């Protein structure tokens, strides 16, 4: 099976490629433009093991300029993971990058797919499309994004749906809830917390630190995402991909203090604009359709991320 993965050098993309290549029948074309907050050198580290793999081909090209018609010739399945991430950076002048990489790129790729015999087009979305909700969130709840980032990802979902309806592009949408673990982006909370503690610097906390998230370990996220490849009766479906545990920011810092055997210095700032107070995924649909059940608890996942971040900064 020939699979195309956009954002192949990213946090989730690189881990997904490794998992998919465990199947000897899978060949992958990975595309990455190295845009976004993570330094190119770290993304290159992510795909070191992939570069030499005989069934993996990497194309370094801006997705706004790719000639998709030439590239999609023998592709059976597309995982569209590429995009511009981050809630806080999506305000102001930088919004144009979110429009380009989350909306225009997605539309160009869907347009190139509309007359092709694809098996699946898997679009990576986000819990940010929901906005502020109480309790467990199901896929049927009305989206009310709080940030420009969330709006661009939701727009990508709507594009997927209209290409499904009008051109039968076999779309599957996955909404990820706060993915963490080794290779996590340097702008994401856990990575920043660990880095600041290693450097004995204060950790900036937006708000009171009591906000909670449904944290999804990278291996669980990849398990669910890879399962879509062979899953039946999933075209047209939207699925939440949540984790095994929820916790507050203060809870996470307490765990880090135990692991690193040091006290963190906290710098409390105003509540960030555009971020919900709580997130909580109802992943029962993914459990039903993908047999998905997260197995990695926060302590195990955090320890692995600590090990990753320590090694990463030892190289500097």
Query: Measured between alpha carbons, how far is residue 281 from residues 6, 21, 40, 140, 278 in Å?
Result: 25, 29, 32, 12, 10
The question of whether 158 is a catalytic residue gets the answer no
Question: What would you measure as the largest C-alpha separation in the chain, in angstroms?
Answer: 58
Phi/psi at 43 (5° precision)? -65, -35
Taking Cα atoms as reference points, which of 179, 172, 124, 126 lies closest to residue 149? 126
Sheet arrangement for strand 179-180: 179-180, 212-217, 245-248
Taking Cα atoms as reference points, which of 25, 306, 62, 78 lies closest to residue 193? 306
Given the residues 79, 149, 163, 176, the one annotated as active site = 149
Instruction: Give the Cα separation of 166 and 163 in Å (integer).
Output: 5
Pairing mode of beta strands 56-60, 27-32:
parallel
Orientation angle between helical segments 218-227 and 11-20, nearest 10 degrees: 60
Please list the alpha-helical segments (H only) found in 168-296: 189-198, 218-227, 249-260, 284-290
Taking Cα atoms as reference points, which of 11, 7, 3 lies closest to residue 182? 11
> CB of 101 within 8 A of CB of 83?
yes
As given in the structure block, the two tokens for residue 22 are 């465990």
C-alpha dihedral sign at 66, 178, 301, 307: positive
Which residues have a catalytic role annotated? Answer: 149
């Amino acid at each position: 099976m020939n699979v195309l993965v956009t954002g192949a050098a990213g946090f989730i993309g690189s881990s997904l490629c490794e998992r998919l290549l465990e199947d000897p029948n899978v060949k992958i074309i990975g595309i990455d433009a190295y845009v976004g907050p993570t330094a190119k050198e770290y993304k290159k580290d992510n795909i070191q093991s992939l570069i030499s793999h005989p069934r993996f081909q990497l194309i370094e090209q801006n997705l706004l300029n790719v000639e998709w018609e030439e590239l999609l010739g023998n592709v059976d399945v597309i995982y569209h993971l590429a995009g511009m991430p981050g809630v806080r950076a999506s305000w102001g002048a930088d919004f144009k990058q979110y429009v380009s990489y989350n909306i225009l790129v997605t539309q160009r790729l869907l347009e190139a797919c509309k007359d092709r015999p694809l098996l699946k087009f898997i679009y990576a979305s986000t819990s940010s499309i929901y906005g502020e909700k109480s309790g467990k969130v199901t896929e049927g709840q009305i989206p009310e994004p709080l940030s420009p980032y969330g709006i661009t990802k939701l727009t990508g979902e709507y594009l997927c749906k209209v290409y499904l309806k009008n051109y039968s592009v076999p779309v599957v949408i996955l909404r990820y809830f706060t993915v963490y673990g080794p290779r996590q982006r340097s702008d994401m909370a856990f990575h920043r917390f660990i880095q600041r503690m290693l450097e004995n610097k204060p950790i900036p906390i937006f708000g009171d630190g009591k906000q909670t998230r449904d944290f999804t370990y990278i291996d669980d996220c990849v398990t669910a995402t890879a399962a879509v490849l062979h899953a039946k009766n999933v075209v047209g479906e939207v699925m939440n991909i949540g984790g095994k545990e929820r916790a507050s920011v203060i809870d996470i810092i307490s765990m880090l203090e135990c692991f690193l055997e040091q006290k963190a210095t906290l710098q409390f700032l105003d509540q960030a604009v555009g971020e919900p107070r709580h997130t909580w995924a109802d992943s029962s649909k993914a459990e039903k359709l993908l047999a998905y059940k997260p197995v990695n608890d926060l302590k195990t996942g955090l320890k692995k991320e600590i090990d990753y971040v320590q090694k990463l900064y030892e190289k500097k």
